[in-house]
Amino acid sequence: MIQYLIRRVLTLVPTLLLISFVIFAVLDLSPSDPVGNLPLTIPPEIREQIRESLGANDPFLIKYVKWLQQFLIAEPLNFIEKMTGATFPGSEDRLRIVSWQTRSPIIDLVAERIPQTLWVVGTAYIIAILIAVPVGVLSAYKQYSIFDQVGTFLSMLGYSVPTFFTGLMFIIIFSVQLRWFPSVYDTTHKITDFSSFMLQLRQIFMPVVVLSLFFTAQISRFTRSAMLENLNQDYVRTARSKGLNERRVVMGHALRNSLIPVVTLVALGIPQIFQGAIITEQIFRVNGLGQLLILAIQGGDLPTVQTLTFIFAILIVLFNLVADVLYAVLDPRIAYN
């Protein structure tokens, strides 16, 4: 296992470098201008100076190397300094990846918005897993029962109806008509006592439920399909013929093997938590990473789009590795040599 991990980590480096090059090259071809949103009254020579200061006029390879160096060296050092209070040599001269829109370091913008995204999308994903896996297992075990038919109908409904529709319906019903929950997420709200904590729960209720419906539908259908396939396998019939308890047969044998494809789905879905639910965050005005990406795309903010996209790519690659490791934990037959 250790040798396998070492080989995988070594292959991650060229893979991520290739991904970073493709992301940077594709986005660099877009006709974005760092001074495109500035007032027209600014003289052309001042605009050119701004482009030079931001490095927009540098050759492609120089821009890519600078961006990669800032992403891999400068920003991690700045993050460590911010978290620990330590100071590394050359901190004052260290260049950072700066947003064209706000002229602020992009990593600082990401750090400010991650808590909002984790509150909403992270909570929804955890709730979805806790609900979807038991529902999928029980639906497969009681195939064609009332529970299975109702679960299948609700899963298909939750997966097929887009989140922008369910979000608007929740706002109309629970916010406009019943006035139970706020329709806009207050990103400036801080939890200081029990009442502020309850207010936080009230304002995240609707976006969390909307996302949970979508995630639960997807994971439960996948779990049901995997369980149905394993419940009809020979090893399950053999376990039952040996007189094993039905609970042990289902939970200890069928479910454990069924979780292998489910783990892949869940692990590859975790980066979505950090990416943010772009549509849902727009509907409920959640100031998360999804909204940051949308604003950067709309404003032609290439450094922000490049940095966020590469961060999401790193998360996908890392959690793909985590899923491979969990395979061996769930199924002893899988051995990495």
Strand ranges, E, within the chain: none
**Secondary structure of residue 98 in the 3-state scheme:** strand
Helix (H) or strand (E) holding 187, with range, is: none
Res 82: pLDDT: 66
Res 297: pLDDT: 82
Say if 56 falls within a structural domain: no
How many domains is the chain built from?
A: 1
Res 170: pLDDT: 86
Tell me which residue of 168, 180, 176 sits closest to 205, measured CA to CA: 180
Res 94: pLDDT: 62
End-to-end CA distance of the chain: 6
pLDDT per residue as tens digits for the range 99-149: 777 777 888 788 788 878 887 888 888 898 899 888 888 888 888 888 888
Say if 104 falls within a structural domain: no
Of 5 and 223, which is predicted with more confidence? Answer: 223
Residue with tokens 């019943």: 178
User: Distance between CA 130 and CA 67 in Å, rounded?
Assistant: 40
User: Distance between CA 133 and CA 219 in Å, rounded?
Assistant: 7
Residue 88 falls in which region: left (phi positive, over 0), alpha (psi -120 to 50) or beta: beta
Tell me the percentage of the chain whose pLDDT exceeds 90.
Answer: 0
Grade residue 194 by pLDDT with cuts at 50, 70 and 90. Answer: confident
Say if 92 falls within a structural domain: no
Say if 5 falls within a structural domain: no
Say if 228 falls within a structural domain: yes
Instruction: Provide the domain limits for residue 230.
Output: 112-330
Structure tokens at 187: 């990103």
User: Distance between CA 84 and CA 324 in Å, rounded?
Assistant: 33
pTM of the entire predicted model:
0.76
- Note whether 253 and 239 are within 8 A (CB): yes
Instruction: Tell me: pLDDT of 15 over 70.
Output: yes
Grade residue 1 by pLDDT with cuts at 50, 70 and 90. Answer: low
Q: At how many degrees (to 10) do helices 194-231 and 123-141 cross?
A: 30
Say if 28 falls within a structural domain: no
For residue 205, the one-letter residue type is F
Highest mean pLDDT of the ranges 88-92, 198-202, 278-282: 198-202
Structure tokens at 311: 């961060």
Indicate the DSSP class of residue 88: -
Instruction: Tell me: pLDDT of 337 over 60.
Output: no
Sign for the pseudo-dihedral over CA of 231, 232, 236, 241? positive
Grade residue 93 by pLDDT with cuts at 50, 70 and 90. Answer: low
Class of residue 75 by CB neighbours under 10 A (exposed 0-12, middle 13-18, buried 19+): buried
Look up the CATH number of the domain holding residue 124: 1.10.3720.10
Of 104 and 220, which is predicted with more confidence? Answer: 220
User: Distance between CA 140 and CA 251 in Å, rounded?
Assistant: 12
**Secondary structure of residue 105 in the 3-state scheme:** strand
Res 89: pLDDT: 66
Structure tokens at 128: 């979805």
* Beta-carbon contacts of residue 171 (< 8 Å; ≥ 6 apart): 183, 206, 283, 284
Mean confidence (pLDDT) of the chain:
79
pLDDT per residue as tens digits for the range 244-275: 777 777 777 777 778 777 887 888 777 766 65
List C-alpha distances in Å: 39 to 43, 46, 163, 278: 10, 12, 37, 29
- Note whether 309 and 209 are within 8 A (CB): no
Residue 277 falls in which region: left (phi positive, over 0), alpha (psi -120 to 50) or beta: beta
Strand partners, 105: 98
Structure tokens at 225: 């399909």
Instruction: Tell me: pLDDT of 286 over 70.
Output: yes
